[in-house]
Amino acid sequence: MSRNSVPRELLQKLLDKRPRTTINRHITKKLSDLNGTVSRKVAALLVAKDMGINFTKYVDDEDRDELTRVHGGGLQPVPLAPSRTLERKVTKEIKPLRGISPCEPYLPSSLLDEAKEMAEKAYPFLYIFENSVRNVIKSLMENKCGPNWWETRVKNLHKTIDDDVNRRMHEEKQNRWHSSKRGVHNIYYTDIDDLRIIVQDNWTVFRKIHDRQSWVVEHIMQLSYSRNIIAHNNPLKGRDIQSIQTKIFEWFDQIKGLPK
């Protein structure tokens, strides 16, 4: 199915709620609001969500990536918030490392086992969490400070963060051969510690998440320890993996009531 096509069953559920012209208008407006950064199908999924329709059965991996990128902080339950079944689903979808075996030089079987375990039980949770934090920051700052919030609340106050972001963006532009890009907004070029600083220094905006700043900061920082180990291709222990999942469930429960 084309990324610009809406699944027939989902379209019918939308039409049960509103006339076709109204549905098309809502989808077009959603595309406009998101500056065309999502497919028509994902725009329809977001319209369905706004109308209270359970859309999760129509979400594939590409949809999930788009939804996480543009709306990670505002959707619930799945596909963005990791449900209690996420680990089982991810585990089922992981395939053996094709063409790689323990007989390769300097490649013990334990290393392959670690790679598989991290891919199944740790990385997806950390990926979803960090991008959700970015999306929550972007959404709340835009609502409070306007579309130029990066210039007024980050660039003018934290030159180091802005310089690092500009350096990463410049490096990305220089390496045009690399097709994957981080995103369209400066926030997607930040490190997780930058996110903590932005939250702390704009707490009047982010106290909507929790009355205690320490709760928000601790969740970011505690997950950053595991995130940095994974990012440097090292394994986590079982109790740290369990801690990741617990903290992420707490985070998504906490942000459910945030304004879109």
- 94 and 60 inside one domain: no
pLDDT at res. 212: 95
> CA 167 to CA 178: how far, in whole Å?
16
- 158 and 59 inside one domain: no
* Global pTM value: 0.59
Give me the mean pLDDT over the 164-186 stretch.
84
Assigned domain for 76 exists: no
Which helix (H) or strand (E) segment holds residue 47: the answer is helix 40-50
Helix (H, G, I), strand (E, B) or coil at 127: helix
- Interval 217-226: pLDDT, tens: 999 998 999 9
- Interval 176-234: pLDDT, tens: 887 777 777 999 999 999 999 999 999 999 999 999 999 999 999 989 999 999 888 89
* CA proximity to 127, closest of 71, 172, 72: 72
Are the beta carbons of 258 and 252 closer than 8 angstroms? no
- 61 and 133 inside one domain: no
- 242 and 166 inside one domain: yes
Give me the mean pLDDT over the 28-38 stretch.
83
- 195 and 240 inside one domain: yes
pLDDT confidence bin for 103, thresholds 50/70/90: low
Which residue, of 45, 71, 97, is where some domain finishes?
71
Assigned domain for 144 exists: yes
Query: Number of structural domains, the chain?
Result: 2
- 120 and 26 inside one domain: no
pLDDT at res. 137: 95
> CA 176 to CA 197: how far, in whole Å?
31
pLDDT at res. 115: 84
Range of the domain at 208: 86-255
Which residue, of 20, 43, 71, is where some domain finishes?
71
Give the total residue count for the chain. 260
Q: Report the chain's C-alpha Rg in angstroms.
A: 20
- 102 and 125 inside one domain: yes
pLDDT confidence bin for 99, thresholds 50/70/90: low
